[in-house]
Each structure stands twice: as C-alpha cells, then as structure tokens.
Amino acid sequence: MHSSANTEKSSFRSIARSISMVENDAKGYMDILGNLPNNTCPVIGITGPPGAGKSTLVNALIGKMIAANKKVGVLCVDPSSPFNHGALLGDRIRMTEWYNHPNVFIRSIATRGSLGGLHPKIIEITDIMKAYDFDYIIIETVGVGQSEVEIAALADTTVVVLVPEGGDEVQSMKAGLMEIADIFVVNKADRPDADVFVKNLRYMLAPVFSNHDYEIPVLKTVAVQKKGIDILMEKIKQHQEINNTSTKKNSLLAEKAFYIIRQHRMKNVDKIILKKEIEKESKKDNFNLYRFLTNYINQ
C-alpha cells in the first residue's frame, strides 16, 4: 500500500511538471503533447455564477467518486492576480480535505487574462490530465466572462450551478448558457423559494428541451450537507452514456484544433507591445488602425 501511494505521488509530480511546461511554453512541451496516448476519460465541467457553491459541490462530488474507489483529477480555473499572474484562489483553501489524498490530484490554474475566462492552454492541460489513469476529470470554471460557454467545448458533461435567489441571473442569462447545460443544479436548495425557482427554471428551459435528445435534468442539492450528490452523480453517468457519439467527438476535436491553431498563430502578438506601438503610431496624422494591422496580418 505504501509503495502504491509513493507511485501515485511520483505520477502526480510528473503531471504537475508537464502542466507547468505547457503553462510556461517551455521548450519541448509540444513533444510531450505529441506523444500523449489517446484516452477517453470523461471530463465534467462545473460552471455558473460566483457564489453558487461550485467548489463545495466539487468537493462533495470528489467524495462520492472516492467512495466508489475512483481516481479523480481536478482543475480549478481561477482569476489571475494582476501582480504575478498566479491563481488567486488556492486549491489548498477550497479542497483541503482531498489535497493529500493518494487518488486525488488538484491543480489551480490562472486565467492569465484570457478573455474567455478559461486558461489559454486549458485544452492542452486537460489532455495531459486525460493521459493519466484518472476515472474522472473535473474542471471548475471561474464563472465569469464566456467561460460558461467555452466549457461546453471542452467538457463531455457540463453542469451549470445556480442558487434559488439567482432569479435575475437566470433572466439575464445568454441563450448560449441555457443551451450548453447538460445538467442544471440548484444548489443551496434548503433556502426559501427553492421549489419556485426550480419550477420557473424548468418553465424557461421548456423551449430548449425541444433541441435535445433528452430532457435536461434540473436537480436540487445542498452541497455543504452532501445532499443530492447521489442523484447528480447518476445523472452525470447517464448523460455520458447517451452522449458518447462520434459526431459530437469530431465536432469537439474540430473546435479544439481551431482553438489551438489560433493560439499558436497569435503567439508572437504581445498586447503590451501592441499598445506601445499603437500609442506611437496614433500620434501621426494619417494613422489608420487597419493599415497598421496589415504588418501583423501579413506576417
């Protein structure tokens, strides 16, 4: 048992090193990615507005998976610190219960100012995680910007977490967010008006159901008390069984390919340098942004 635990720690150190290489554009990181084995480990995306209790829900889900003797990898995508571009919210703070567990690997990664709210290399980092023998990978997003919509292009199952008093948030939700959810979770469902909120949410979702092969579940949980986690886990498994189609996988691969190519094409474009050059050029009387950009577009 002791030897097995040491092997896991060594394996986790290897994952951590590989992720750091990708995050920092270290020399040879594309070779690591190019040699990754093909793995179909399911990816579960947990998203929704700040304060919905996503971390507590993830904590409870990990517990359910570990109780079933599963191995879990967790990526927590956090807002970047404006000073050092590190992750502001440490995984130690949020998931101390699992931090040293031999079957749980947790990594906080910063968005690094990515407009979408996900880490710019989230696809590559997820694929590194998938190369190891995890039974599940959970990605918890920061819940701002477009990350809710982006997560659907990355996760096999997307869980959108809301709270009963989030009526205004639901009303102002983009249609995209309503459509990317494979499962809705109303967390903190012991609060007043939870049943009314669930009923209204189902009513709002009625037009969306017609575009799906199955009815999107709307579940109630009280994550802090571990209530409702069993049914959530069941619904995740059910969704993955019906969702394992080659058509979706090919669409997903095309999205991933497009995103990675765009990242590499933009690699030499530095926003700070761009700003300085524009500041200098814009002082000229005949400055034209599109003419200025041809130098970049034609490179």
What's 42's domain CATH number? Answer: 3.40.50.300
What is the mean predicted confidence (pLDDT) over 147-157?
67
Q: For residues 269 and 260, give the distance between their C-alpha atoms in angstroms, rounded to a whole number.
A: 15
Q: How confident is the model at residue 9 (pLDDT cuts 50, 70, 90)?
A: low
- Structural domain includes residue 49: yes
**Torsion sign over Cα 261, 111, 131, 20:** positive
Rounded to the nearest integer, the mean pLDDT of the chain is 79
Residue 17 domain flag: yes
Pairing between strand 72-78 and 136-140? Answer: parallel
Cβ-Cβ contacts under 8 Å for 148 (sequence gap 6 or more): 47, 48, 117, 141, 160, 176, 177, 180
pLDDT of residue 235: 96
Helix axes 122-130, 2-23, angle to 10 degrees: 160
Q: 186 pairs with which residues across the strands?
A: 162, 220
What is the three-class DSSP state of 249? helix
Reported as a single tens digit per residue, the pLDDT across 115-137 is: 444 567 788 888 899 988 899 99
Q: How far apart are CA 231 and CA 227, in angstroms?
A: 9
pLDDT of residue 121: 79
The pLDDT assigned to 208 comes to: 62
Q: Which domain does 170 fall in, by range?
A: 2-245
| Residue 46: pLDDT over 60 | yes
89 vs 110: CA distance, rounded Å = 9
Residue 277 lies in a domain: no
In a domain, 292, yes or no: no
217: in domain: yes
Sheet holding 104-110: strands in order across?
Answer: 104-110, 72-78, 136-140, 43-47, 157-162, 183-186, 218-220
pLDDT, one tens digit per residue, over 221-250 is 999 999 999 999 999 999 988 876 656 667
Share above pLDDT 90 across residues of the chain, in percent, rounded to a whole number:
27
Residue 173: inside a domain, yes or no? yes
Q: Residue 169: which pLDDT band, with cuts at 50, 70 and 90?
A: low
Provide the domain count of the chain.
1
Q: Does residue 64 fall inside a structural domain?
A: yes
Amino acid symbol at 263: Q
Domain assignment present for 13: yes
pLDDT tens, residue by residue, 58-100: 999 999 999 999 999 999 887 654 444 444 444 445 567 787 8
Q: Cα separation of 135 and 77, whole Å?
A: 20
